[in-house]
Amino acid sequence: MTRADHRAVVTGGAGFLGSHMCERLLALGYSVVCVDDLSTGAPDNIRALSRFPAFEFIQADVCAGLDVTGPVTEVLHLACPASPRDYLRLPLETLRVASIGTQHALDLAARHRARFLLTSTSEVYGDPLVHPQPESYWGNVNPVGPRSVYDEAKRFSEALTVTYRQQHGLDTRIARIFNTYGPRMRGDDGRMIPTFITQALADAPLTVAGDGGQTRSLCYVDDTVDGLLALLTSFDVEGPVNIGGGAELSVLQTARLVIGAAGSSSGIVFVPRPEDDPSLRCPDTTLAAQRLGWQPRITLDEGLRRTIRWFAESRAAASEPVR
């Protein structure tokens, strides 16, 4: 089977990561069906893809069912609010899409005997007691805390995916994605990088939670897509597999890097730290390197430069008068 014979369904395909995945699959010769209810995704993210004859967009809620006519060879389940601001604003919707929505996506793959890829998250590790976090670590999650609507939802979606593999012989893959950033993130979605960049471009103070000592490991979106595709096309790697950046930085260090990269005069202010905010976040990517031959290629300096440029251009375009 050649790539031209592949027809992939991407749920959440109009979101930040989903739109990059759709774009890459099209460039590789796949036909792509993008399914999104646009609750957190945006039509602008996929507008340029509509010129491809091999691209189809279906506006639909995967929790209401997922019935795609015609052949399906892969189902990539990316649908789910991913930023704290979104999943705290949409807690029940987040729980439903990771449970009912995941089941519908798995059922679609089962009907077509398609390969299934679940994008899980580093949040399944919670506030980790093991560092860096290997796939064998079970995590330290507060099941009744405010973040549980996302953390526990993703843990359930992993369990459901594994059960479909065991009970139905479905060909499944599970990726645990760490902090991904890049163009097409919403400036108001509440995640660290878009928040810092939006503030820096406005020369406004960057809001750092707590004392800024908590750490994150950032991965540019192109590298994340590379890792997901390496897992999707692997012969026998089921996962979970960590996909994330290797450079661990404190939030305060990251804020200073963004200010410098943006050429901003912004200062830094400290704000209260959210409840259950993880203190440490760094993936052990040994498995991805050994089994998939994958590791991040884009340096943080280069990734920030590309992302800041996109935000600056979007900001300039939004300020142009309508003619």
Structure tokens at 50: 């509509």
Structure tokens at 79: 């649908």
Q: State the Cα–Cα distance between residues 208 and 74, nearest whole angstrom.
A: 40
Q: State the Cα–Cα distance between residues 23 and 55, nearest whole angstrom.
A: 9
Q: Is 125 annotated in the active site?
A: no
Question: Which residues have CB under 8 Å from 130's CB, separation 6+?
Answer: 137
Residue pair 243/228 in contact (Cβ under 8 Å)? The answer is yes
Catalytic, out of 30, 150, 181, 220? 150
Structure tokens at 246: 């290797």
Cβ atoms within 10 A of the Cβ of 283, count? 26
Distances (CA, A) of 257 to 1, 193, 279, 299, 303: 46, 11, 20, 13, 12
Q: Report the catalytic residues.
A: 150
